[in-house]
Amino acid sequence: MRIVADRTRCDGHGMCEALAPNLFRVGDDGIVAPRTDSVDDNDHDLLQLAIDSCPVEALRLA
């Protein structure tokens, strides 16, 4: 499983970072960046919560 962040859609709300700071970081430019390319199964529920709470749907799994 791989996290995909659409940096063109991200508005920098920071919901993903607030929910899963070990998986996401909002940079100085205000745009999200995944902290890792792949996620292990233990973080799947937290990751799905962060993806679902993105107000601009900039996150997905591939």
Confidence class for position 1, pLDDT limits 50, 70, 90: confident
Mean pLDDT, rounded, of the chain:
94
Report pLDDT for 46: 94
Domains in the chain, CATH or no CATH each: 3-61 (3.30.70.20)
Report pLDDT for 41: 87
9, 43 from 18: Cα distances, Å:
18, 15
Mean pLDDT of 6-11: 96
Confidence class for position 48, pLDDT limits 50, 70, 90: very high
4, 61 from 37: Cα distances, Å:
8, 10
